[in-house]
Structure 1
Amino acid sequence: MRFKVEDLEVQFPYPRIYPEQYQYMLELKRSLDAKGHSMLEMPTGTGKTITLLSLITSYQRAHPEMGKLIYCTRTIPEMEKCLEELKTLERHRDECFGSARPRRLLAVGLSSRRNLCVHERVSQHTEKSQVDQECRQLTAPWVRERAGVRSLGPDGRYCASGGRQQGGISSAGEHPGAAGSSGGGEDEGTSGHAGRCSAAAASSSSPIGDSGIELCEYFEALERQGTDALLAAGVYTLEELKEFGKSKGWCPYFLARHVIAFADVVVYNYQYLLDPKISQLVSKSMQRECVVVFDEAHNIDNICIEVMSINFRLPTLEAASKNITRISSEIERMKQTDASRLREEYERLVHGLAQSGTLPINAELASNPVLPDEILTQAVPGNLRRADMFVKYLRKLVHYLTQRLQVNEVVQESPTAFLHKLDNEEEDFSKSMKFVSDRLRSLLRTLEVTDVQDFSPLVLIADFATLVATFQKGFGIIIEPYDERTPTLRDPLFQLCCNDASIAIKPAFERFQSVVITSGTLSPLDMYKKILSVQPVVVQSFQMSFARDIIRPLVVTRGADQALLSSKFDTRSDKSTIRNYGALLLECARVVPDGIVAFFTSYSYMQEVVREWHSTGLLKTVLQHKLVFIETTDVLETTLALENFKKACDCGRGAVFLSVARGKVAEGVDFDRHYGRAVLLLGVPFQYTLGRVLRARLEYLRDTCGINEADFLTFDAIRQAAQCAGRVIRGKSDYGIVVFADSRYSKHDKRSKLPMWIQQFMTDALSNLSTDVAMASARQFLREMAQPAPAHKNVSLSEAELFRSSVYVERVSTAGIDMRQDPSYYGLTAPATATQPAIVPMDIG
């Protein structure tokens, strides 16, 4: 399809489009026109990804001044899905404009070494840290220098490559301890950024240098190509990038880092923008005109909190002490063999940290956990410049932290109070702390360290020192002498807790003119504006167009014996509650064909309930109807359980998957078609409200953002519930039953926080049911879904139908928060619930 969105021609790779997709494009274009940020909630299963890509890349074609599209995903499967959709879109453009058309897209995905390595030996390792370390040992500049590799310097003459050469492909790598995760258990590590390659030449094409030191042949081949190492226009998935690298003999990992500088579309993990330790490496060179998309961003505040928080225990401090001892030995060794390097570093430190590196600024150890750039230009304090003095400083810091962990009761204090106590121990000690992280990285570069992972404990302590000395607001310190679950076992924990999610995402909002936050579960949108401290120009939630009701939401408040159902703490362990939850699962197994997914509020509650079901024989009765599989904390076990669950559904036996809200399955696994005909939410997934870290964040949100504690807890629980509910609906032809099994879901304050695409199917008649009445409704729904869909009720629009529709011709103001509740705006018939209920204060009980 080719059609106009206001004055913009958009190419869409499918013959029909949903009304909400067009409305999504319209709101997205208006945010791009206004050069502002937007928050858009799109119903699940309605083609959000291709809608985003079609509009933004069409906007790129029409506005050459626009920068690249930076598409941020949470997992590897989501990255691959985005790149596949882009390939489909580009094939459609070839059909429209010819394969020889100008301005074809160059799109690449950026991931960790483990996901892109093609080295025959290194790629065999399954542990990310092993791959990283062996790669560094083959590609570090000083390793290559010792091997006799030569490269072209700025004057055009050959010189030894390595730390002193400014340019070339950096051997940077992942920052220790920073990693994302994918739904299938695949860790997506962080990655450094390499600038454009400078011309380089090696003394030999062999992976063995002149001195017999082993090098990576793929990296050396890429380095020899220099700026000629380019990708032709096209869309490259991770596997295609690896195949291309093998065919050329180039390293796909460093090729990807080279190519992102001039690609039109870059797809990578959230941490590449949100984690300041990594964004300094990967995203610092991105121009302001770029458009950033955070897809599936319903938990973006939690990700921001996580990347800015640091926890450690006594074993970490002990390992850091060993790191310091090793560094001290390395300094003594270098004083004997190459003291000039230490003197050169000292002179550079006088002029500021930005000038202190002996490698290009794109090297791994140039990463910095602190956002303010002015710190990098300041001269390093005198007590940190000399290497041996800096080592003494680190020893004092680690010793002080070890003392602070010797507590018998919980300590909570602000960073300011922590620094004041530190200065009382060591006068003016804290004044230099903000420089510690960069100073350590400078020293490790000078010492030519390749096994950076071994120094991750000390790097973690250095990052802590810099963060606590830099940010006085939005952070808190909590020292716990033991885990609450094992109060008799002493295991002290030191936590630097970030309470303000806006700290991590603020640089993205400030650096880029348009940031799009989108997901299927962003309700209520007002809450995200507050916790992220942003004023978007467009805030929109869309309803789902439908030919028939494909979702049957059932709020079950009572068991068949009329006993109240609830996972409230004071009733969750009652025999009647567990029995009624079991009876509900059993009835669903009898009534619903194929696959059923049940979500508990926590692993501990699931274990308690399943244990009781087993003792009463209920599980044995369920097994007469369907097989039962359980999610565990072990990724491999859960993956195997999911595979067997799908096999049971495929062969017609049917299966039940017992899972946990906030777990891997709830966040990253789709149960489409027959794999998920019903989802049961056994309780409201509130967080553990007595946790000290959560309490500290709630107090901060109340005092700083004006967010009531109960409102935030309900918002957080309902978004998790909505995420679980969305697992079973992955398209307009799909259908499923969503059972909200807790009496609290019948309350107005809970229902009003559900996304519009769930609310529009939820009526009062379905909102206060007993188990037997709910199952009768489920039977009726399944009988309706078994009939062919009415042919005359196609909700999607062809190109000609789109031009004639009211969706196409209307122009509606987007000022403020306009939820667009009028169904005629979408070209739809009125749903059962046509208006959005007001959000009112509530009691989380």
Structure 2
Amino acid sequence: MRHIYDACERRATFGAFESPTGTGKTLSVLIAAMSWIDDRRRARLAGTKLDDEDDGRDGAGETTKSAEDDEPDWLREYDAKRRKTDADETRARLRRDAETRLREKIRGGDARDSAVKNDEIDKHTAEEREFLADEYDSGAENAKEDLRTLLRDGDDESDDDDAHAAKEEDDALRPAQQVILCSRTHSQLTQVIGELKRTVFGGSVANAEEQVAVAAVAGRAQLCVNPAVKSLGSAARINERCLDMSKGKAKPGEKTKIKACPYLSKRRKAMLELKEAALAKPMDIEDLAKLGESSRACPYYAARSALPEADLVLMPYASLLHADTREILGVKLENAVVVFDEAHNLVDAVHNSYGAAVTLNQLSDVNDMLTEYVERFKTRLSANNLRYLRTLTNITRAFVKVLAKETEDESKPQKRLTTLNDFLFECGQDTVNMFSLRRYLKESKVAHKIASYGERVRSGENMSVDGVKMETIGRTKVAVAPDPNAAPRVGAVHALTSLIDALASADSDGRMIYERATPEGDPATLRFVLLDAASRFKRVVEQARSVILVGGTLAPIPELVAQLFPDLQSQTAPAPGARQLKTFTCGHIIPRDNLLPIALSAGPTGVALDFTHGARADVSVIDELGRILLNACRVSPGGACVFFPSFKYADEVYARWESTGAMASIRGVKDVYREPRDASTLEQCLRDYAASVSRGASTRNGGAVLLCVVGGKLSEGINFKDELGRLVVMVGLPYANVADAELKARMDHLDTGPGNQGRGRAYYEALCMRGVNQSIGRAIRHVGDYACILLCDKRWGAFGSATNGSRTKAAKALPEWIEQRLVVPQRNYGEAHGRVAQFFRAREAKQGH
């Protein structure tokens, strides 16, 4: 906790802290960060000058401090109370003013609605009002999407009148310091809320002064409580419909015209109360959604409006990493401490946030929608709008042409990589100003109008008759079965805009990949891949007060830091104001003898365990692995998780074991399950595995074996605690295919520039070891847990190689608490197997079995 607190306190810190699962990592981070928030809040109320908040630093802070020391205690106490009272009164006044303005808008909105009802608008005019793009001036500063704009009820003047007051309110209510905690999934953030509630900062003590305000940020798909919108299914359709309804737009031609969302329109007081409730007591997104549903107020916009006032903000990686999303949500990184939990995923998260992909079918859909849109509104669109839309149409058609040609050419590789400039040249679009087009799409928000109009045209063409979907074939309408997996057309438009946004990057930042259609049904795709995560993550580091990475298995930490902020590596004596690296690795709290990791370089018959790509198909190696697993299953209780480097190799090994009878022998000791490729059957597989382990608990060596894959669903985020993971077997080292075009391009990019030779190889090796560390980390989940880990590959260390204390490169990349316990047998496999049997006998004796 002290290290986390120091990283918060010292501005310009880049911290990386590793603490194994079960050691209280999340609770430690919360207590340290919230203590820092509370200490600084108390210091400001007491009138203490904080060094990094003093605008006139040149010795002024020291002078002020010495002057305050001369004041009597009663005067300092009075001044502290006065400051607290002034702060409370200011906050209350601003909230009263905000509520007053909202009430005035409600009254004004009622009068406007009654006037609109008396004014019948024909369908043609209503269609133009809904879908026609606004005038666009490329030389003007267009206003960005603002929360208050989305919350208004058609009053275009009201926002202008109180814009200054609104900005003053946001700035005044925003805490002086804010902690933004990000994780990969909403379920992980829900666990953070649970941990916070256990502390004084989360309300464990009623009316405690230390309690902090918390805001949990999520997307519309997670927080929408309007049944008519939620029923649309896809996130793309929910987003589009929400935007329509939040602006009070009716759908022309519908029998029931919904002018605005009933959870948003005329619900501003309820929205304000929901926001205050969210800030008063920590809530996860499920709690917030339930409260929003019962109070008939929108949880999504309530969460967004609560964000500026929160001391602690919880949000997924993607919401913070992408600059445009941060801007839309109103997230300000200045003076904020940003904490990334489960940070081993962070590099991939950055790549995914700035990657883009569009399929051939999506491009064809966009081409159709653009043609329909321009044809319908060409007489009403401004010259600027028409010019940009025709450019967009030409680009779309060019992409369709080159991708269709690529996928039809059987001589082309499955994946072909090219630079951004070469790709645009191949498409004949190298003269297009992508920066200008990107700005137009962002500021005009025309993509939303095109997508909405395209959906309306599709719904008009494929109308329903008595609940039966109809499609037009030739001149005849026929009934067809609805396709439950049909992708919404709105997603196609946004996929293209994301690709155009990516094409405005520097040529060295990324690569374009042509992916041909596959016999398995994968569609032809154009994909942009970001080569260097640091080029985008740098913006977060430079804007935030401090950035802290935490995780259970961050090793190898130096390579992770190099991927995200390589400038830190060369700062042996950082200049004033430069980012400073702070790292800390925490050992596990389990007793030392609760974990037995063993490196196996050979099996029972002496066959060397060589699982390199060229040698692992040798049947003698596969057979030896089968003997090792069978022997280990005979002496180990509960469940055994076996991790293979790929699904393909797992299939090869399984087929060999079936043909030789090795699998039948293993099944004679434990039930055997395999990780399914289809995610929909994964939960059932886990239930069956857990049931077999539970049944085997009554016998000494019963249980089950689960054959998993590194990088699969079971290698991360799954808790194999206690009997579910008494034995973990790592087969080989899961190095990626170095010939893969995307991986090779990323490695080559990292090697460019003076002093960077070897960065590509280091990245390649770190990918492998991060997969290993995540997989073996599925076991040992709490202080009383125990497990044995068998590392099957000669690259972990040959028998007898540990006599001089040396470790292989792979062994050194293990988490420190595992590497310290790693056993490399002196003589042979028999010694290793004896240790395994003795380990489990000792654990059983200790537990009184």
Establish whether TM, by shorter chain, passes 0.5.
Answer: yes
Alignment pair present for 1:461 and 2:484 = no
> Residue 235 of structure 1 aligns with which residue?
282
Alignment pair present for 1:143 and 2:253 = no
Structure 2 counterparts to residues 603-614 of structure 1, below 5 A: 603-614=647-658
Partner Cα distance (2:666, 2:598) in 1? 21
Q: Secondary structure at the match of 1:260?
A: helix
> Which residue among 531, 544, 548 is the counterpart of 2:563?
531
Structure-2 change in CA distance of 1:427 and 1:269 (3 Å): closer
C-alpha displacement at 1:617, in angstroms? 2.5
Alignment pair present for 1:402 and 2:406 = no
The residue type equivalent to 1:225 in the other structure is A
- Worse-superposed segment, 27-36 or 491-500: 491-500
Aligned length: 646
Asked whether the equivalents of residues 222 and 255 of structure 1 are also in contact (C-alpha less than 8 Å), the reply is: no
> Residue 506 of structure 1 aligns with which residue?
538
> Residue 419 of structure 2 aligns with which residue?
414
Partner Cα distance (1:328, 1:38) in 2? 52
Structure-2 change in CA distance of 1:421 and 1:624 (3 Å): closer
Structure-2 change in CA distance of 1:310 and 1:129 (3 Å): closer
Alignment pair present for 1:309 and 2:384 = no
Asked whether the equivalents of residues 437 and 459 of structure 1 are also in contact (C-alpha less than 8 Å), the reply is: no
Structure-2 change in CA distance of 1:606 and 1:244 (3 Å): same
> Residue 18 of structure 2 aligns with which residue?
41
> Residue 460 of structure 2 aligns with which residue?
none
The residue type equivalent to 1:726 in the other structure is G
> Residue 189 of structure 2 aligns with which residue?
79
Structure-2 change in CA distance of 1:641 and 1:546 (3 Å): closer
Partner Cα distance (1:313, 1:450) in 2? 18
Q: Secondary structure at the match of 2:512?
A: strand
Flag as ranges the 4+ runs of structure 1 deviating above 6 A.
none
> Residue 627 of structure 2 aligns with which residue?
583
Partner Cα distance (1:426, 1:737) in 2? 58
Asked whether the equivalents of residues 516 and 523 of structure 2 are also in contact (C-alpha less than 8 Å), the reply is: yes
> Residue 690 of structure 2 aligns with which residue?
646
Asked whether the equivalents of residues 716 and 774 of structure 2 are also in contact (C-alpha less than 8 Å), the reply is: yes
Partner Cα distance (1:427, 1:764) in 2? 62
> Residue 261 of structure 1 aligns with which residue?
308
1:751-805 deviations in Å (ceiling 9; x for gaps):
1111111111114448x852x4333211111122224489xxxxxxxxxxxxxxx
C-alpha displacement at 1:546, in angstroms? 4.4
1:420-473 deviations in Å (ceiling 9; x for gaps):
5666x6755556444354266246359975959523223322322232223232
Structure 2 counterparts to residues 712-731 of structure 1, below 5 A: 712-731=763-782
Partner Cα distance (1:91, 1:299) in 2? 28
The residue type equivalent to 1:242 in the other structure is A
The residue type equivalent to 1:468 in the other structure is L
Structure-2 change in CA distance of 1:578 and 1:222 (3 Å): farther
Q: Secondary structure at the match of 2:17?
A: strand
> Residue 656 of structure 1 aligns with which residue?
705
Structure-2 change in CA distance of 1:145 and 1:640 (3 Å): closer
C-alpha displacement at 1:103, in angstroms? 4.8
Identity of aligned residues (%): 22
Asked whether the equivalents of residues 588 and 817 of structure 2 are also in contact (C-alpha less than 8 Å), the reply is: yes
> Residue 368 of structure 2 aligns with which residue?
322
> Residue 212 of structure 2 aligns with which residue?
105
> Residue 707 of structure 1 aligns with which residue?
758
Tell me the C-alpha RMSD between the 2 structures.
Answer: 3.1
Structure-2 change in CA distance of 1:444 and 1:74 (3 Å): closer
Structure-2 change in CA distance of 1:392 and 1:127 (3 Å): closer
Partner Cα distance (2:438, 2:225) in 1? 39
Structure 2 counterparts to residues 566-645 of structure 1, below 5 A: 566-645=610-689
Asked whether the equivalents of residues 22 and 781 of structure 2 are also in contact (C-alpha less than 8 Å), the reply is: yes
Partner Cα distance (2:275, 2:37) in 1? 21
Partner Cα distance (1:621, 1:214) in 2? 68
Structure-2 change in CA distance of 1:330 and 1:604 (3 Å): farther
- Worse-superposed segment, 653-662 or 292-301: 653-662
Alignment pair present for 1:775 and 2:833 = yes
Asked whether the equivalents of residues 558 and 769 of structure 1 are also in contact (C-alpha less than 8 Å), the reply is: yes
1:176-220 deviations in Å (ceiling 9; x for gaps):
xxxxxxxxxxxxxxxxxxxxxxxxxxxxxxxx99x8437543333
Partner Cα distance (1:450, 1:393) in 2? 18
C-alpha displacement at 1:494, in angstroms? 2.9
The residue type equivalent to 1:235 in the other structure is P
C-alpha displacement at 1:115, in angstroms? 2.9
The residue type equivalent to 2:745 in the other structure is A
Asked whether the equivalents of residues 417 and 742 of structure 2 are also in contact (C-alpha less than 8 Å), the reply is: no
1:95-125 deviations in Å (ceiling 9; x for gaps):
4xxx123352222432233333333455466
> Residue 786 of structure 2 aligns with which residue?
735
Q: Secondary structure at the match of 2:778?
A: helix
Alignment pair present for 1:686 and 2:735 = yes
> Residue 53 of structure 2 aligns with which residue?
none
1:460-499 deviations in Å (ceiling 9; x for gaps):
223222322232322122335566x99xx99754332211
> Which residue among 522, 528, 550 is the counterpart of 1:518?
550
Partner Cα distance (1:234, 1:583) in 2? 56
Partner Cα distance (2:524, 2:723) in 1? 48
Partner Cα distance (1:443, 1:130) in 2? 13
1:251-304 deviations in Å (ceiling 9; x for gaps):
32332222222122222211011133423322x432512211111111211221
Asked whether the equivalents of residues 41 and 542 of structure 1 are also in contact (C-alpha less than 8 Å), the reply is: yes
The residue type equivalent to 1:301 in the other structure is V
Q: Secondary structure at the match of 1:217?
A: coil
The residue type equivalent to 2:419 in the other structure is S
C-alpha displacement at 1:231, in angstroms? 2.9
Structure-2 change in CA distance of 1:697 and 1:212 (3 Å): closer
- Using structure 1 for the length normalisation, give the TM-score: 0.71
Q: Secondary structure at the match of 1:553?
A: strand
- Using structure 2 for the length normalisation, give the TM-score: 0.70
- Worse-superposed segment, 67-76 or 684-693: 67-76
> Residue 26 of structure 1 aligns with which residue?
2
Greater Rg over alpha carbons, structure: 2
Partner Cα distance (1:718, 1:106) in 2? 39
Structure-2 change in CA distance of 1:618 and 1:133 (3 Å): farther
- Worse-superposed segment, 261-270 or 445-454: 445-454
Asked whether the equivalents of residues 202 and 212 of structure 2 are also in contact (C-alpha less than 8 Å), the reply is: no
Asked whether the equivalents of residues 108 and 265 of structure 1 are also in contact (C-alpha less than 8 Å), the reply is: yes
